[in-house]
Amino acid sequence: MVIASQLLLYLCLSLLAGVMTAGAMPRGYMPRFRVPKWLMIAAAGGVIVFGAAPVFSIIMNMAGNLSFAGAFGQVLFGFNAGRAWLVMYLIAIVFIALFAFDIMEGRAMARAGVALTVILAVAQSFAGHAFEQAGLWGVTVHAVHLIAVMVWSGLLMILGWFTREKVKWPAVLSWFTPLALISIIVLAVSGVFISDVVTAGQGAGVSIFRRLADSWLTDYGQSLLFKQLLLAAVLGYGIINGILYRAKLRLDPDLEIRPWIRTETFVVLIILMVTAFMGEQPIPSRLDTVIGRDGVSPLFEAVHGAGIPVGTGVSFSFDVIGVLLILFSAVFFGFMLYAARMRMHAGLSFVMALCFVASGYLGLMLSVV
């Protein structure tokens, strides 16, 4: 329940960030788009409703010792999750009022909306793992990570699903491709920092790469690996839309690439699903403690079988099958690009992207013992 609500929360935040960012751009950068007023009000309301799920989960855990009102007050003002949700609630109410009374019009108001979405991202970051482990610096990095996701995925949604006119893609890609590239770089750099923070308890002398591999024994580490592979697939769509089709658009300016933009939004949706799952898993700061309490990840056991000794970690031992699967993942990545180059159905590239992720995952899992 909490995981589903976190996914919907990320979608609401992304839609708000995408609409505000698009509206704040100078004239001529964005094609005309229309997001229904009811949907924007629903997105702002979703921030309240879906953002409250972790809060009410804590309240339910405390309900046996306190009254609901007492637990609610204690969580709201005494827990990071409660204080973060209170700020998000207030900002969301402002958004609802602005949308309901048609005040959110023009670039000036959109820029004010961008500032409000930044506050939402910062508030959400106070409820994350990074704040617990690294304080304000962790909040800063997590907020930058979240803002990059919100703006990038939000603009993808606008361009793919809400534009009202024929899009002049050469003009749009001239600014969107660098923005998407910057977003992915920001995600990678901030993701490394967050990963370093949440695995730091495994030992100061252990490299981050070893700690990340050891974290594959946990659900958090498994989902992080999937997220990294999915981001690699998104890089493939960056090549497709930012390089292959950008070159084709010079020869054929009327070429319609919206199906490929929409396909990329589905990959981003899966990334948000994985991120929502990660946010509710215990971090592998102390591997033996996490495994002793929750056990080894079912996905890891499905590949390697049960009976993993607690606290031993993993080590790489590449075999023929593992190497072949990693090579197959590279082939699937190439097929994803080839499908775009030959203007095949965009759905085929999506299937190739999923095959790339699955083959890469299995190849890496079979390469550790």
Closest CA to 138 of 147, 148, 129, 151: 129
Residue 256 CA to residue 258 CA, distance in Å, equals 6
Say whether pLDDT at 2 is over 80.
Answer: no
* Residue-level pLDDT at 46: 96
For 128, the 3-state DSSP assignment is coil
Q: What is the overall mean pLDDT for the chain?
A: 89
Tell me which of 250 and 369 has the higher pLDDT: 250
User: In angstroms, how far is the first alpha carbon of the chain from the final one?
Assistant: 33
Determine which of 72-86, 222-236, 262-276, 310-324 has the lowest per-residue pLDDT on average: 310-324
Look at the alpha carbons of 201, 202, 203, 207 in this order and tell me if their dihedral is positive or negative: negative
Question: Given its phi and psi angles, is residue 66 left (phi above 0), alpha (psi -120 to 50 degrees) or beta?
Answer: beta
Residues 6+ apart with CB under 8 A from 273: 7
Q: How many CA atoms lie within 13 A of 336 on its CB side?
A: 29
Residue 145 CA to residue 185 CA, distance in Å, equals 10
Say whether pLDDT at 152 is over 90.
Answer: yes
Q: Which long-range contacts (CB under 8 A, 24 or more apart) does 143-147 make?
A: 143/118, 144/186, 144/190, 145/186, 145/187, 145/190, 145/191, 145/194, 146/13, 146/121, 147/17, 147/117, 147/118, 147/121
User: Which range is most confident: 43-52, 182-191, 242-251?
Assistant: 43-52
What type of residue sits at position 218?
T
Tens digit of each residue's pLDDT (9 = 90 or more) over 270-314: 999 999 998 888 888 778 788 888 888 899 888 887 665 555 678
Tens digit of each residue's pLDDT (9 = 90 or more) over 37-67: 999 999 999 999 999 988 888 888 876 677 7
Which residues partner with 368 through β-bridges?
316
* Residue-level pLDDT at 147: 95
Per-residue pLDDT band at 161 (split at 50, 70, 90): very high
* Residue-level pLDDT at 306: 66
Determine which of 55-59, 160-164, 186-190, 205-209 has the lowest per-residue pLDDT on average: 205-209
Residue 226 CA to residue 195 CA, distance in Å, equals 14
pTM reported for the whole predicted model: 0.92
Delimit the domains of the chain by residue range: 1-161
